[in-house]
């Protein structure tokens, strides 16, 4: 009786189809974000070129260029997500570093209070440590995966037989 009930519930829920449909919906959301981000990049690029017709404000042009570069990196991050179905931590850290530096450049180092400069510096050091530690951490986790005992087909068969005999 329980075995038929479990089989009936599995066929009724069809987890594989539900997960596949949710992944398709998630991909649709990411594609929509990519299209929106691309449109924002084009708009900002056009605004930047039109601002060059007026007297040159170096701080504003630098801010626009850095903002467009941040948008390009976010776009690349989303494309990588669509291809690999995972987020690249290194790319996200690089984007965060450029965003923090953009804010410092935009406001000017002399105009920012000392406490904020110290906070931004600590934040950038932590991001730098993460950026440096990521390759080492990935090798460490690969080493753990390699050295973990894997379940063999015989172990799986024994576990299945034990669960069936207990029903």
Q: Which tens digits make up the pLDDT trace of 70-84?
A: 899 899 999 988 888
- pTM for the whole structure: 0.64
Residues near 98 by beta carbon (within 8 Å), at least 6 away in sequence = 66, 69, 70, 73
The whole-angstrom separation of Cα 58 and Cα 10 is 63
Average pLDDT estimate for 30-53: 90
Average pLDDT estimate for 131-144: 75
Q: Is residue 132 very low, low, confident or very high in pLDDT (cuts 50, 70, 90)? A: confident
* Measured CA angle at 110 (ends 108, 111), to 5 deg: 70
Cα-based distances in Å from 37 to 31, 61, 119, 153: 10, 20, 29, 47
Instruction: List the structure tokens of 62.
Output: 């630098």
The whole-angstrom separation of Cα 53 and Cα 81 is 38
| pLDDT confidence of residue 31 | 94
Concatenating the DSSP letter of every residue in 59-123 gives HHHHHHHHHHHHHHHHHHHHHHHHHHSS--HHHHHHHHHHHHHHHHHHH-GGGS-HHHHHHHHHH
Q: Crossing angle, helix 15-51 and helix 2-13, to 10 degrees? A: 30
By three-state DSSP, how is residue 49 classified?
helix
Q: Residue 108 region, left (φ>0) first, then alpha (ψ -120 to 50), else beta?
A: left
């Amino acid at each position: 009786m329980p075995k038929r009930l479990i089989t009936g519930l599995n066929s009724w829920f069809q987890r594989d189809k539900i997960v596949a449909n949710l992944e398709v919906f998630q991909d649709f959301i990411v594609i929509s974000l990519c299209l929106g981000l691309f449109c924002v990049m084009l708009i900002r690029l056009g605004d930047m070129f039109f601002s060059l017709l007026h007297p040159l404000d170096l701080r504003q042009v630098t801010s626009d260029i850095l903002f467009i570069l941040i948008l390009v990196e976010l776009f690349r991050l989303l494309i990588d997500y669509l291809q690999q179905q995972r987020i690249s931590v290194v790319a996200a850290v690089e984007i965060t570093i450029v965003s923090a530096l953009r804010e410092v450049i935009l406001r000017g180092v002399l105009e920012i209070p000392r406490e904020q400069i110290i906070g931004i510096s600590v934040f950038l050091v932590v991001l730098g440590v993460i950026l440096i530690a990521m390759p080492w951490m990935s090798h460490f986790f690969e080493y753990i995966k390699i050295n973990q005992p894997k379940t063999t087909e015989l172990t799986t068969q024994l576990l299945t037989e034990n669960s069936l005999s207990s029903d």
